[in-house]
Amino acid sequence: MKALVLNGSKTEKEEVNSVSDYLVDFLRTNNYEVDVMILRDEKIASCLGCFGCWLNTPGQCVIKDAGSDLPRKVIQSDYVFLLTSVTFGMYSSELKKALDRFPCPVLLPFFKRINGEIHHAPRYDKYPSLVAIGVLPNPDEESEQTFATLVGRNGINLHTNAISSIVYSNDKPDLIKEKIVAAFSKVGV
């Protein structure tokens, strides 16, 4: 089984990095093949919204940088982990920069009705499960609810199941590990 870990921390000091370390350790202990991308160290341009991945090179991003390999990495993974500080209820700009680069190439431009709403039709038969782990300094109901809803909606748009979990900066390592395992079990591992 393959897992892609997208570490969206903006600095080395963020708790997101500890979460990433615990997660990768857990995955490798359980014999997953793990690909970790520390996004702040990668050259990834922002999506241009050009539709080139639909019309010029269908299924592939036209920007040539570390982000152009994301659609392949995502589609060839069984699980994609999104690690981020919860930023006003959503992902950090580092994580979002990467996330903006892969949904369009892995989907078709055509519309499809799903649960009464319109979304893009799938390009592939199978998509990886999404697990998003957000870090907050303290409990914050509004941010946590928005984050959970966002991750759930990403799952709908990417035709997969998606689970979110919140870690607090002052959580002890054992509790963080417990939360990782709990999120993992919810997504159907």
Q: Which of 119, 161, 186, 189 binds another protein (CB under 8 A)?
A: 119
Does 96 bind another protein (CB under 8 A)? Our answer is: yes
Interface region with another protein, contact rule CB under 8 A, candidates 19-27, 115-123, 129-137, 176-184: 115-123
Stretch that binds another protein, among 14-22, 23-31, 101-109, 173-181 (CB under 8 A): 101-109
Q: Shortest distance, CB of residue 138 to another protein, whole angstroms?
A: 12
Crossing angle for the helix pair 15-29 and 173-186, to the nearest 10 degrees: 60
Q: State which of residues 17, 18, 93, 160 lies at the interface with another protein (CB under 8 A).
A: 93
When binding is defined by CB under 8 A, the residue of 5, 32, 71, 165 that contacts another protein is: 71
Give the number of residues in contact with another protein, rule: CB under 8 A: 46
Among the residue ranges 23-31, 85-93, 163-171, 177-185, the one whose residues contact another protein (CB under 8 A) = 85-93
> Amino acid identity, residue 39?
L
Nearest to 171 by CA among 134, 146, 144, 145: 134
Residue 153 near residue 159, CB atoms below 8 Å: no
Q: Is 90 in the site for another protein (CB under 8 A)?
A: yes
Cα separation, 24 vs 32, whole angstroms: 9
76 binds another protein (CB under 8 A): yes
Binding residues among 146-165 for another protein as defined by CB under 8 A: 146, 149-150, 153-154, 157
User: Of 27-35, 120-128, 167-175, 180-188, which part binds another protein (CB under 8 A)?
Assistant: 120-128
Cα 175 to Cα 19: distance, rounded to the nearest angstrom: 11
Cα angle: 148, vertex 167, 142; to 5 degrees: 40
Which tokens sit at 159? 């035709």
Nearest by Cα to 166 from 142, 154, 189, 158:
142
Beta-carbon-side half-sphere exposure of residue 79 (alpha carbons within 13 Å)? 24
Residue 150 tokens read as 């966002």
Q: Which of positions 36-65 make contact with another protein (CB under 8 A)?
A: 46-49, 54-55, 58-60
Smallest separation (angstroms) from another protein to the CB of 157: 6
